[in-house]
Amino acid sequence: MGSTILETSKPLSTKQSVSGRRKKVISLAEAGQMLARCKTIHMTGSQLFDAPMALIREAIRAGATGLTLIPNVVTGMAFDLFIAAGRVDTCYVSYVGFEGLGLAPAFKRAGETKSIHIVEGDEPFVVLGTRAAASGLPFVAVPKHVYGATDIPKLNPYIHRIQDPYTGEEVYTIPPLKADVCILHAQQADEYGNTQCWGGNRQEPDKAKAADLVIVSTEELVSLDKTRENPDKTTLPGYLVDAVVHVPFGAHPTGSSQCYAYDEEHLRLYLELVGKGKEQEYLSKFVYDVRDHFDYMARIGTERLYRLRQVL
């Protein structure tokens, strides 16, 4: 019997790949539009380094509001600016402050006037909660000694005390901390999303996996060949990254690891203005009246920015 040749699959041809590999580079304004649709943000960077400040300013300009913020173990202006702009409903807390420069003024005031809701956490809560979300675990259990002597479980309704089914011991549970988006400032990324952080605390992959959407801002946008020179330095492989924005000095006024120091003078100006209740003055000058990131850099001044690159 003769058989009809049925085409089960199409023969391969490079013509099928005419559009090539998908590039992930978008503009800062486009990133702002994406952020304006998000409600829960996984924040990265520390109080003085690698905070995704340009993305935060853009999100504020684009109208992001009613936000829930999940921090890294330490955070500072990344939270405080969102709060100063009145965009925050809920803060998960581990540490919010400016270290030796002072307490976080908008966070402090909002905490005292109850204008934001605070989820009282700490290092194990945010790190293990992020880990749980990244791995798809229902929760993480920690031994009794971690929380048994602190007041944190009394203040945090998400921490539960349960019995360990294996040992019968009392343990505490931490829930997965998921977010709509993770925003991250890196030192190098390529068009396909492969991202290198030259600082950080290796929480970055967990943060990215714990969010539905990952937006990276980068000091340098490089070719794929540059990534391939040092694949062992890739912090986030591109499959974890949805969008890349090229933003030189995008961590300012915090520092960018191995690129530039934090701008202490500017941070002190922020602390002074917000501390005095003049946050609108700060926001007008450095967020609302700013045309784009290049205008922001112009307002800070080229000489000042390049001087920060001398201090490593």
Partner 1 sequence: MANIAHPGTDRYSMAELMVIEMARNMADCDGKVGVVGSAATLPMAAILLARLTVAPNLWWLCGDSGAINPTFDRLPETAAHSRNRVGAEGMNAMMDVLEMGLRADWGFGFQGGLQMDRYGNTNMIGIGPYNHIKVRGPGAVGTPWEISIERAYLFFWHHNPRIFVEKVDYITGPGFLEGGESRWKIAKPQAKGPAYVYTPISVMDFEEMSRRARLRSVHPGYTVDDVVKNTGFELVIPRTVPTTTPPTDEELDLLRTRVDRDGVLKNFRLTVG
Candidates 32-40, 142-150, 231-239, 266-274: pick the segment binding partner 1 (CB under 8 A).
142-150
* Shortest Å, Cβ 131 to partner 1: 8
Q: Is there a contact between 96 and 77 (Cβ–Cβ < 8 Å)?
A: no
Buried-exposed string 12-21: b where 16+ CB fall within 10 A, e elsewhere: eeeeeeeeee
Structure tokens at 299: 């307002």
Q: Closest CB to partner 1 among 29 and 155?
A: 155
Out of 16, 145, 167, 303, name the contact with partner 1 by CB under 8 A: 145
Residue 131 in contact with partner 1, rule: CB under 8 A: yes
Binding of residue 121 to partner 1 (CB under 8 A)? yes
Indicate which single residue of 93, 177, 273, 290 sits in contact with partner 1 (rule: CB under 8 A).
93
Cβ neighbours of residue 98 closer than 8 Å, sequence gap 6 or more = 47, 48, 76, 77, 104, 267, 271
Size of the site for partner 1 (CB under 8 A): 52
Q: Is 100 in the site for partner 1 (CB under 8 A)?
A: yes
Site string for partner 1, 257-276 (x = CB under 8 A): xx------------------
Q: Name the pairing type of β-strands 117-120 and 140-143.
A: unpaired
Dig out the tokens for 89 from the structure: 């409903």
Closer to partner 1 at the Cβ: 193 or 199? 199
Q: In one letter, which amino acid is 303?
A: E
CA-wise closest residue to 218 among 193, 250, 191? 250
Number of C-alpha atoms within 13 angstroms, CB side, residue 229?
9
Decide if residue 199 touches partner 1 (CB under 8 A). yes
Extract the tokens encoding 292.
Answer: 């784009």
**Contact call for residues 118 and 158 (beta carbons, < 8 A):** no
Nearer to partner 1, 28 or 96 (CB): 96
- Per-residue x/- marks for partner 1, 46-65, CB under 8 A? xxxx----------------
Which amino acid, residue 7?
Answer: E
Burial 119-128 (b: 16+ CB within 10 A, else e): bbbbebbbbb
Interface with partner 1 includes 147 (CB under 8 A)? yes
Determine which helix (DSSP H) or strand (DSSP E) holds 43, and give its type and residue range.
Answer: strand 40-43
- In angstroms, give the least distance from the CB of 79 to partner 1: 10
Binding to partner 1 by residue 176, rule CB under 8 A? no
Q: Is 238 in the site for partner 1 (CB under 8 A)?
A: no
Q: Which is nearer to partner 1, 22 or 145 (CB)?
A: 145
Closest by CA position to 93, among listed 117, 62, 59: 117
> Phi and psi for 278 in degrees, rounded to 5?
-100, 40
Nearer to partner 1, 62 or 257 (CB): 257
x/- site string to partner 1, residues 274 to 293, per CB under 8 A? --------------------
| Binding residues for partner 1 (CB under 8 A) | 46-49, 73-74, 93-97, 99-100, 103-104, 107-112, 114, 120-124, 127-128, 131, 142-152, 155, 198-203, 255, 257-258, 312
